Amino acid sequence: MRITRIGGPTALIEWEGWRILTDPTFDPPGRTYAFALGTTSRKITGPAIALADIGDVDLVLLSHHHHADNLDDAGRAGLGVARTVLTTVAGAKRLSATGAHGDARGLRAGDTVTLTAEGKPDLVVTATPCRHGAPLTRPIVGPVIGFSLAGVGAAHPALWMTGDTVMYRALRRVATGMHPDVALVHIGAVKFPLTGPLAYTMDADDAIELIELSEPGAAVPVHVEGWSHFSQQEEEASRVLAAAPGAVGERVRWAPLGEPIDLP
């Protein structure tokens, strides 16, 4: 598997002929975006690779459509590079209603879809649970999902994209014993001054627990730089993960922005 980290949550995954783009964010830096309840965030850095240089894409995995740090304006306009978009049910309805994509399919946690493409092995995608904040915040932050991807009949996923989530019971249950070849772990410890200490995504300590539970062959941190509302940026997260006990630190693979890395 080849992974190219582009910025924020955005990565290009190449596996068995499939070209998969996650949470497309391609706006230039400098703009401030509105989030829920009057919160805002500024995009600090732009994408390491321009959308025009990505090429054809088979599939976009969109954890949620309503936050600019997971789908910004250029990312939304560029969804057409992909044949299929998988996202939440609400996201698929919105993308279809606005004409952003003609094959946007909505999934709930636990739903599975099998994708086919000429010359490529069939791809089984299962939506995994996310909770984008503290209990009872879903009406404010909206629905989010992650994705596990596997070949037909495979014992374990080739890829797990966690999506934007905090640690909670359903996530722990799904993660335990998953053994994905590669996990894209969304961290960043999203916080806003308005809501004080409440976090809306995992931090590096949470990632350590998740890696211990899921035991991936490799864990690639994403969603950890480029935005002002990430309270734990890449430098701090890398220090925490480097000090992780046991085999966790050995599983973490940092992908330099814009440079593809090959994982077994």
Identify the pLDDT of residue 36: 87
Residue 52 resides in a domain: yes
Identify the pLDDT of residue 246: 85
For the CA atoms of 123, 124, 128, 132, the dihedral, rounded to the nearest 10 degrees, stands at 30
Residue 259 resides in a domain: no
Residue 134 resides in a domain: yes
Number of domains in the chain: 1
Backbone angles phi, psi at 200, to 5 degrees: -115, -5
H helix or E strand, kind and range, residue 238: helix 234-242
Q: Which residue has the tokens 């330099």?
A: 256
Residue 56 resides in a domain: yes
Q: How far apart are CA 221 and CA 201, in angstroms?
A: 12
CATH code of 159's domain? 3.60.15.10
Mean pLDDT per segment of 10 residues, for the chain of length 264 residues? 98 98 98 93 97 96 97 95 97 94 96 97 98 89 97 97 98 98 98 94 98 98 98 98 92 98 93
Identify the pLDDT of residue 225: 98
Identify the pLDDT of residue 138: 85
Residue 258 resides in a domain: no
Residue 19 resides in a domain: yes
Residue 170 resides in a domain: yes
Q: How far apart are CA 170 and CA 181, in angstroms?
A: 21
Residue 94 resides in a domain: yes
Identify the pLDDT of residue 253: 97
Q: How far apart are CA 82 and CA 206, in angstroms?
A: 32
Which pTM was predicted?
A: 0.97
Q: Show the domain range for 101.
A: 2-247
Q: What does each C-alpha distance from 244 to 128, 206, 216, 247 come to in angstroms?
A: 25, 11, 15, 8
